[in-house]
Structure formats: C-alpha cells, structure tokens
A and B are shown apart, each in its own frame.
Chain A
Amino acid sequence: MTKYALFAPPNFIDALLLRVFAPETVNYVVWPFIQIGAVVTAVAVWALYASYLERKISAFMQARLGPMRVGKWGLLQPIADAVKLLTKEDMLPDKADPYIFRYAPYISVAATFITFAVVPFAPDWGVITDVNIGLLFILSVSSVGVLALILARWSSNSKYALLGGLRSSAQMVSYELAMGLSLIGPLMLARTLSMSGIVAAQAADGPLFYIFYQPLAFLLFLVAGIAENNRAPFDLPEAESELVAGFHTEYSGMRWSLFFMAEYAAMVVVSAVATVVFLGGWYFPGVRWLAGGFNNLYVLLSLLVFIVKMAVLLYVYFWLRWTFPRYRYDQLMDIGWKWLIPASLLNIVWTGIAVFTVQALDGWSGFQTIESFRRGVDLTWQGKAIMVAFGGVGVLLAGAMLATINRGSRDFNLKKQRRQVRLVAPPKGAPAVAATAAATATE
C-alpha cells in the first residue's frame, strides 16, 4: 500500500473494519468473506450470462441473430430464463431416491465453487487464499464433481440418466489422468504447486509465459479440460441425440439449473487454471509500470488482464462446441487413453530433458542460460530460446509418436475404415435370369 489517493475505497473500508474488529479478524475473517461474496456473485452472474453468450455465439456462427426480444439485443433473456426456472415445478420421479436426488445438484455446485478459493485473480487482495498445494487442491476438489453426476444418475432411476452417468464417470476418470499429467511439465519449471507461486514464477521469468515453453502441455490440458467439463465435442454424457439429456434427464426447474450453473462454473475453473499455469495468470509485462505505483490500480489492472486471458479461453470453448461434431464413444476413450496420456507422459520426459539441457549448458564455456532459481526457473534469453525450441520440437515429436503408436488404429482414419468396408450389393454383370437359364441348360 504505497499510495492510496486513487481507488481509496478498499483502504477506507479496511480502516473502518479495523475500528470494529481486531486486525487478525479483519485479515482472516472479514476480508475473505467479502472476497468470497464477490467471487460467488461474479461466477453466478457469469453462469447466468454464459447461456446468453452460448446462444448468441452459436447463432452468429450459424448466421442467425439469436435472442433479440427480451431487452436490448435480448440482454434480459437470462433473467427471464431464471424466472422461468425458479417458478417451475420441482419434479421428483417415481421410485427415485428422494434424498440423493435432491442433494446431488448441491454437491455439483459446491465442488466447483470451492475451487475458486485458491484461484489468484489478481495480486495482493485479489487472492482469497494462497494454499501451497493450490493446483492439487483444484484437481482433487473438481473431481468431486464426478461424484455428484454419479449420484444424480443413480438416484434418478432412469435408463438415460444411468447411461449418461456411466459415460461421464468413465470419461472423467480417463481424462483426469491426462489433465493431471499435462500439468507436471509446467510445474517442473515453476517448482511450486501454489497458484500464486506459479504466476510469480512466470512473472520472474520475464515476458514469456509457459505456453511458449509448453505448447504441447497447453494443448493437452485444453482438450482434457473440455472433456472434463463434458462440453462438446466431448459431451457424450448429455448427448441429446442419444441420451435425451444424460445424467440430468430427470431434473427440472432450479435443480436442473444448478447442474447448468456447475457446468459453466467448471468451465471458468478450467480456464482459470489454464490461464494461471500457461498464460501467466494476472501477470502481463508493463502492467506494473502502467499502474504507476498505485497498488489498488495495479491490482485492478491485473484483474482485468486475468479476465481477458480467461475470456479468450472461454471463447475457445464456445468456438469448439459450435464447430466440431460429437465424437463416438470409442473415439472418446481412444483420445483419452491412446493419444492424450502417451503425449502427456512424453511431455514430462521431454520437459525433463529440456530442463536438464538448460542446466547442463549453463556455465559451459562462458554460456549462461539460467539467471537464478529463486522463484522458479529464471532463464536468460539464450535459455529462453532453448526452451521455446524444445517446446516446438516437443509438439512435433508428440505428433510423430502418436502417429506411430496409433498407426494401426482405425478410429479416426476414415479412409482406412472405408477401405475395409465390404459391399452389401451383389456384384454386377451376372443377372439373376441368366443364372437360372444356365442352370436349366445344365440340367
């Protein structure tokens, strides 16, 4: 808190709170509550307006206009939807387990909202809590969301829900592996699991984010994250054309919208993790200079940077959803086990080799690659060039390896599938009448 002429309100509130409470209470109870309230409100509003964005973007991609009637450009449409959902009847299917059926949506929402506790939205007061196992915490808590889906499908006592839930649990188990493994590469560079620590490591390393050192890991994480969120093209658990609505077939009204909210909040979680780990979180070169010493302005600008980076990733979600058709189930399992997991394992080995090379070259005949290890690996420009080259080669290497592993696979090779399809129609040239005439002649 160097200067606080500009954006005084947080400091003013702080001073007010300190009159009433002890400093420990203010720092560890009151401020966290304010932050939690702000984050929960922001995410809830996002979940509301994500449906609007989804409808608008899908409409634009299909050369339509989308919702236009409620409010200007249909901006009040989500509110109308929310009112509709709130006033809808809360249905409980016959023979459903009433307690589990009612509590499954809450587990789903809680599991996704808890993960926001460790996400660093901005420096200083933009962090709710900085746990030193932050990334691990996010991965473990977000996988509790699978439990909610399993409970929902089992308790609703419906065949479509059951199938959808089976698919989602299988899918989440397979993709969580690839997701966790793909994060190990950046962690080897950051040398910490703390979310703020990862951002600090990237800030200390200079203008390059980890996406340049780890493009392969970024791609893997993005694909695995989309699959983890059950979004198209991996939306097998709620494939409309096959399973009605998957695990939430039997849900209606507010409970259904809780699942909906959890899905969009989970999207934010995954893109927040991707932003922190690969895109440098709230860090952007020049922001501190732009803030000019005003701490609160610096925090707000960093928050803006974080939101912009996340918005790009969230747009990618919509973009992919309205471009690609859904995968077949066997293709989905193949992508998980035969493509993503080998590639992420390769990424770990390759990052290890890269880090080792950079360390080995450091100090070799006056060549310097590493400046310090103080907060993650801080590289000189030679070191950066080596790491970027390793990253680019890693992508090609992974592609070559996957092509080798899956050369016999027919799942994505349409040409190969077609080559082995047998014709059903009878061969031409020999009409049935001629055959009978020949048969009578022999007799």
Chain B
Amino acid sequence: MPLVNVPEPTWREKLKRFFMVDLIEGLKLTLKFNVGALTDKDSVKGYGIYTEQYPSVRPQVAPRFHGAPRLNMDPETHESLCIACNLCALACPEDCIDVIPMDIEIMVAGKPRKKKVLDEFIFDTSRCMFCALCQEACPTACLELTQEFELATYSRAGFVWNREMLEQGRESRKFEA
C-alpha cells in the first residue's frame, strides 16, 4: 500500500503555522459578522443578518406558487362567479372538491325557469396537492389557488374549507413588523 504523497510544507506555510495565521483569520471572520449584524442591518456588505424574519417580514413567494384556494366573486355584483358546473371536482386528481348545487326559480321573459346555482362548496385542503388542475378547468375563472401559504390549523376538521371560507378567506393572525 502506498503512502499519500504530500509535499513538504514551504517556509511560508511553516511561518503561517508558527504565527497561527489561520486561527486569527477565523477570529477575524466571526468578528466581521458580529460587527456586521450590529451595524449593517440590511446586509449590504454581506456581513449582516442573512436569515428570513418570517412572522415580521413575510417572504415573497414565487409567481407560480399555488397556495390556499379561493372562490372569486363578481367585483360589481358581489355574486359568486361559480356556475356549479362541477368541472373542478371532475378535474381534481385527489377528489378533494365537492360542489353542491341547488335549483332556484327565476323569471326569464315572464316565464318561470329553473336555474342551477351553487349552494355549498367543500374544499379539503388537507388532501389537496396544489396542482391547480381545478383552476385550469374552471370556465369562469372562479376557483383560484392564491399565494397564501399559512394553512395550518389546530384540528383536522379545520382543513376542510366551506364556501364562506373560500369566498371570504380564512381568519389568520398576522404579525406586525
């Protein structure tokens, strides 16, 4: 078995070892970061705080990020854009969407007609894998996966969102900076 061939240290290396230059350089680096954390808050020179200050400063998610679902409403009439077509439920590979329609009587040109509208919309976020196939299936751009990412709850039942939660958004505590 051969020995690993390492060249003899040069005089320069020996002197560096003798005066413990490497140790001093290490100390210099940590001191630089310590001073930088106190003076250079926004890490302009690269020696400040690097970590994400999540609850006080919310992170910028990617533009294509899929988060919490939302049912969009008509901005003028404030009526749901959903036409209860059930296409989203059919598109969902996880089968986590439940569209419950109901029939209402409306008058069209003086005659009573039946119209199918949305009664309840159940979205199980615990089973959702945020693929956004439902969003693509939606013909009226009603169902949308937003950039919201805080989906944690204290109970399993809290993961199941109903129509109200989907339309109004869920209440969550936001920390101030």
Which residues of chain B have C-beta atoms less than 8 A from A424's C-beta? 1
Q: Is B149 an interface residue (CB 8 A)?
A: no
CB–CB A421/B4 < 8 A: yes
Q: Is A38 an interface residue (CB 8 A)?
A: no
Complex formed: what's the CA distance from A403 to B51 in Å? 43
| Selected contact of A63 from candidates B1, B6, B19, B49, CB within 8 Å | B49
Complex formed: what's the CA distance from A153 to B2 in Å? 46
Interface residues of B in 1-52 (CB under 8 A from A): 1-4, 6, 9, 18-19, 23, 26-27, 29-31, 33-34, 36-38, 43, 47-51
Q: A63-B50, A65-B53 in contact; A423/B1 too (CB < 8 A)?
A: yes
Complex formed: what's the CA distance from A424 to B43 in Å? 46
Q: Number of A-B pairs whose CB atoms are under 8 Å?
A: 65
Q: A60-B33, A63-B37, A63-B50 in contact; A324/B2 too (CB < 8 A)?
A: no
Q: A322-B30, A324-B23 in contact; A423/B4 too (CB < 8 A)?
A: yes
Q: A57-B34, A319-B27, A323-B27 in contact; A63/B51 too (CB < 8 A)?
A: yes
Output the least CB separation between A186 and chain B (Å): 23
In the complex, which residue of chain A has the Cβ closest to the Cβ of B34? A60
In the complex, which residue of chain B has the Cβ closest to the Cβ of A426? B1
Which residues of chain B have C-beta atoms less than 8 A from A427's C-beta? 1-2
Which residues of chain A have C-beta atoms less than 8 A from B47's C-beta? 63
Which residues of chain B have C-beta atoms less than 8 A from A422's C-beta? 1-4
CB–CB A61/B18 < 8 A: no
Q: A63-B49, A403-B18 in contact; A323/B26 too (CB < 8 A)?
A: yes
Complex formed: what's the CA distance from A26 to B4 in Å? 75
Which residues of chain B have C-beta atoms less than 8 A from A60's C-beta? 33-34, 36-38, 49
Which residues of chain B have C-beta atoms less than 8 A from A64's C-beta? 49-51
CB–CB B33/A62 < 8 A: yes
Output the least CB separation between B174 and chain A (Å): 16
Output the least CB separation between A210 and chain B (Å): 23
Complex formed: what's the CA distance from A258 to B72 in Å? 59
User: Which of B18, B30, B51 has the largest number of chain A CB atoms within 10 A?
Assistant: B30
Q: Mark A46-86, 1 if CB is under 8 A from B, else 0.
A: 00000000000101111111000000000000000000000
Q: Is A420 an interface residue (CB 8 A)?
A: yes
Which residues of chain B have C-beta atoms less than 8 A from A374's C-beta? none
Complex formed: what's the CA distance from A59 to B4 in Å? 40
CB–CB A61/B34 < 8 A: yes
CB–CB B49/A65 < 8 A: yes
Q: Mark A105-142, 1 if CB is under 8 A from B, else 0.
A: 00000000000000000000000000000000000000
**Interface of B toward A, CB cutoff 8 Å:** 1-4, 6, 9, 18-19, 23, 26-27, 29-31, 33-34, 36-38, 43, 47-51, 53
17 contacts between A and B (CB under 8 A): A60-B33, A60-B49, A61-B30, A63-B33, A63-B43, A63-B48, A63-B49, A64-B49, A64-B50, A319-B30, A323-B27, A399-B18, A403-B18, A415-B9, A421-B3, A421-B4, A423-B4
Which 9 residue pairs across A and B have the least CB separation, nearest first?
A60-B37, A63-B50, A61-B30, A323-B30, A60-B34, A419-B6, A422-B1, A64-B51, A323-B26
